[in-house]
Amino acid sequence: MALLSNTRPGLALEPALLALRTQVDTRLGELLPEPEHPQDLIAEAMREGVLAPGKRVRPLLMLLALHDLDAHAPGAIDIACSLEMVHAASLFLDDLPCMDDATLRRGRPTLHIRYGEDVAVLASVALLSHAFSVVAAAPELSASVRTRAVGLLSQAIGPYGLVRGQFYDLHGGHQARALDAIAKANQLKTGSLFIAALETAGLIAGCSRADIASLRSVAQEFGLGFQLLDDLNDGKASEHTGKDAHQDRDKTTVVALLGRDAARQQLRLHVRRANAQLERLGLADGLTAQLLARIFAD
Ligand code: GRG
């Protein structure tokens, strides 16, 4: 069954987002372990952290791209959910006192405040390994696709992905940093999961190498733009972002370095570049392009 039953080309974004978001949340609820007893805090924290009201951008991006590419694989939703699990696992760690020391996430107290640092670390590790087992077992996808999807996910996380980006961010973020060093950290810590989302969509859809390269470029621009937007929103009140305001107070971000206007211009450049690649793919009017327009609307 197609994830979106209505596959006409002009399908509007909002109903598609609503339908996919419901499917992602339902499937996440099914895939995450249930607590086995009232003291099973790891399972409870995993569910609490993942199912808290985040935007689900990474799984939605992957599923919208699959729709644009006319690929309807039932197992894709599980891989999309694994991206959300990895993202949530990274947030558990990012919020710890030894990292960003955050108190609020997705409008709720951060996981370590609610359950303690030990539970937050263990829930993150459990979630990461669970995400890989979900990809490995994704139904109705060939063994080759599942194996390659595992590879894409691990590249997004490890020494060439989120972990390295987070390290650069923690250890370069509080000093003056050149713009390209900031972009590199942003690309790794935020772009990596967007790349996994779109490359996996291309893999499932059986895209050519050239088209996968274009999807990767879309994801890179999307990731850089997304982190810029996150930085631009840093001063906003917690009611709007669900996070602590001014978390980047002591960090050198693009916004701190260039100012808000130049950062906005930079953001528009990323959106234009992403759209150019979508056009190359013949997806200028697709749902992925609409998602981009919606997220980065001025
Ligand atoms: C264990 C996977 C793993 C990674 C370890 C801690 C770490 C390395 C990386 C953290 C990277 C990080 C927090 C990047 C920031 C990315 C970002 C823009 C987060 C906010 O994403 P949204 O806006 O959040 O999509 P919601 O809550 O809506 O999902």
Q: At a CB cut-off of 8 Å and minimum separation 6, what does 35 contact?
A: 41, 43, 44, 47
- For ligand 1, the distance from its centroid to the CA atom of residue 10, given in whole angstroms, is 32
pLDDT-wise least confident of 10-19, 47-56, 194-203 = 10-19
Short-list 258, 260, 271, 270, CA closest to 236: 260
**pLDDT averaged over every residue in the chain:** 93
Angle CA 48–54–33, to nearest 5? 30
- For ligand 1, the distance from its centroid to the CA atom of residue 87, given in whole angstroms, is 5
Q: DSSP code of 217?
A: H
Instruction: Count Cα neighbours of 171 within 13 Å in the Cβ-side half-sphere.
Output: 6
- The best mutation among 62, 94, 241 to test binding of ligand 1, ranked by most ligand atoms within 8 Å of the C-beta, falls on 94
Q: How many Cβ atoms are within 10 Å of 158's Cβ, its own excluded?
A: 12
d(CA 168, CA 80): 27
- For ligand 1, the distance from its centroid to the CA atom of residue 149, given in whole angstroms, is 20
Q: At a CB cut-off of 8 Å and minimum separation 6, what does 164 contact?
A: 158, 188
- For ligand 1, the distance from its centroid to the CA atom of residue 275, given in whole angstroms, is 24
Q: At a CB cut-off of 8 Å and minimum separation 6, what does 72 contact?
A: 1, 2, 3, 7, 66
Do 19 and 295 meet the contact criterion of CB atoms below 8 Å apart?
A: no
Q: Is the CB of 124 under 6 A from ligand 1?
A: yes
pLDDT-wise least confident of 38-52, 92-106, 177-191 = 177-191
Task: Tell me the per-residue pLDDT of 113-146, one tens digit each, with 9 for 90 and over.
Answer: 999 999 999 999 999 999 999 999 999 999 999 9
Summarize the confidence of residues 99-116 as an average pLDDT.
Answer: 97
Summarize the confidence of residues 37-47 as an average pLDDT.
Answer: 96
Task: Tell me the per-residue pLDDT of 237-284, one tens digit each, with 9 for 90 and over.
Answer: 788 889 888 877 777 888 988 899 999 999 999 999 999 999 999 999
Task: Output the furthest CA–CA distance in the chain (Å, rounded).
Answer: 53
Do 86 and 156 meet the contact criterion of CB atoms below 8 Å apart?
A: yes
Q: At a CB cut-off of 8 Å and minimum separation 6, what does 56 contact?
A: 21, 24, 25, 84
Q: At a CB cut-off of 8 Å and minimum separation 6, what does 178 contact?
A: none
Q: Is the CB of 94 under 6 A from ligand 1?
A: yes
d(CA 281, CA 292): 15
- Residue 245 pLDDT: 85
pLDDT-wise least confident of 35-39, 145-149, 151-155, 207-211 = 35-39
Short-list 92, 105, 24, 27, CA closest to 59: 24
- For ligand 1, the distance from its centroid to the CA atom of residue 111, given in whole angstroms, is 14
In the chain, the domains with their CATH numbers are: 13-295 (1.10.600.10)
Q: Is the CB of 54 under 6 A from ligand 1?
A: yes
Tokens of 294: 């919606």
% of the chain at pLDDT higher than 70: 95
Question: What atom in ligand 1 is closest to the CA of residue 125?
Answer: 1
Strand locations in 82-231 (E): 104-105, 108-109
Handedness of CA 191, 204, 80, 296 (dihedral sign): positive
% of the chain at pLDDT higher than 90: 83
Do 4 and 11 meet the contact criterion of CB atoms below 8 Å apart?
A: yes
Q: Is the CB of 166 under 6 A from ligand 1?
A: yes
Q: DSSP code of 12?
A: -
Task: Tell me the per-residue pLDDT of 197-233, one tens digit each, with 9 for 90 and over.
Answer: 999 999 999 999 999 999 999 999 999 999 999 999 9
Short-list 167, 41, 155, CA closest to 94: 167
Short-list 285, 223, 235, 293, CA closest to 259: 235
Residue 7 has pLDDT above 70, yes or no: no
* Maximum average pLDDT range among 9-23, 92-106, 244-258: 92-106
Q: How far is CA 217 from CA 46, 161, 212, 221, 287, in A?
A: 32, 16, 9, 6, 17
Q: Is the CB of 190 under 6 A from ligand 1?
A: yes
Do 169 and 227 meet the contact criterion of CB atoms below 8 Å apart?
A: no
- Residue 225 pLDDT: 97
- The best mutation among 182, 184, 190 to test binding of ligand 1, ranked by most ligand atoms within 8 Å of the C-beta, falls on 190
- For ligand 1, the distance from its centroid to the CA atom of residue 86, given in whole angstroms, is 9
- For ligand 1, the distance from its centroid to the CA atom of residue 130, given in whole angstroms, is 17
- Residue 173 pLDDT: 61
Residue 6 has pLDDT above 50, yes or no: no
What pTM does this model have? 0.95
